[in-house]
Amino acid sequence: MDEIEIVSYSPKSSYFGDIYEIEVLSLPDRYGVVWNYSIDSKQKRAIIIMHRKLDFGGNCFRLGVHHWKNGVPEISITENFYKLGKDLQDSFFWHEIGHIHFKHFLHVKYKSQDEVREHRIEFLKKEDVLPEEIEADVFAVKRQGKVKYIRFLNFLKDTRPAGKYGSINDYGKKELLLRIRKINDMKI
């Protein structure tokens, strides 16, 4: 079998398909890597999974986040991530990989996290969810199935701290409930 060439990440490339593999490395500074294979399977590119101390302001139980560093995607995970079982960890990864796969550049579309939050709330007031979240959810469901993924969303909902009506956590729980309902209603 021919060796697969490792290439740098270019978000503009359409040469890479939807074949991904999560490789756990357990190095001191990184958890692992997600490999994305080219359509012809002759090349692959890496999405690094890093250990990070992330500050989410204590508003909610967060596992990690995807972000773009100089146009290259990375997934950062927190200590809370390690408290999960494998199925929940995989659900988290597939959702974040979905954001990367569909090139959800929220940092370009919105000026700040506050602006993202404002748009989330606007959607929630209309009993809807940001399209990027649903697209990433569907990506994850196609990798894991509805039952496992909905179990993950229920876990996020159930472990999110309670909040007063209209608080960040209140809206977060509402969004999770809507996402669960939408996935249940889909024919995937």
One domain for residues 37 and 100? yes
DSSP state of 4: P
pLDDT at residue 115, rounded to an integer: 85
One domain for residues 48 and 90? yes
Please indicate, yes or no, if residue 11 is contained in any of the structural domains.
Answer: yes
One domain for residues 12 and 94? yes
One domain for residues 38 and 114? no
pLDDT at residue 112, rounded to an integer: 76
3: Cβ contacts below 8 Å, ≥ 6 apart: none
pLDDT at residue 123, rounded to an integer: 93
Q: β-strands 43-51, 72-77: how paired?
A: parallel
List, in sequence order, every beta strand (DSSP E) within 79-186.
none
- Name which residue leads in pLDDT, 46 or 134: 134
φ, ψ at 128 (rounded to 5°): -135, 175
- Residue 79, pLDDT > 90, answer no
Query: Where does the pLDDT of residue 91 fall: very low under 50, low under 70, confident under 90, or very high at 90 and above?
Result: very high
Three-class secondary structure assignment of 77-140: ECHHHHHCCHHHHHHHHHHHHHHHHCCCCHHHHCCCHHHHHHHHHHHHHCCCCCHHHHHHHHHH
pLDDT tens-digit series, residues 12-57: 555 678 889 999 887 877 889 999 988 888 888 889 899 877 665 5
Please indicate, yes or no, if residue 1 is contained in any of the structural domains.
Answer: no
Q: How many domains does the chain have?
A: 2
pLDDT at residue 106, rounded to an integer: 65
Cα–Cα distance, 55 to 82 (Å, whole number): 17
Ranked by mean pLDDT, the top range of 28-32, 68-72, 108-112 is 28-32
One domain for residues 47 and 98? yes
Please check whether residue 102 is in contact with residue 135, taking contact to mean a CB–CB distance below 8 angstroms: yes
One domain for residues 86 and 150? no
One domain for residues 75 and 48? yes
pLDDT at residue 146, rounded to an integer: 97
Residue 5 identity? E
Structural domain of 142: 109-185
Cα–Cα distance, 151 to 87 (Å, whole number): 9
Cα–Cα distance, 112 to 116 (Å, whole number): 6
The residues pairing with 21 across neighbouring beta strands, listed in sequence order, are: 35
Please check whether residue 141 is in contact with residue 183, taking contact to mean a CB–CB distance below 8 angstroms: yes
- Residue 169, pLDDT > 50, answer yes
Sequence length of the chain is 188
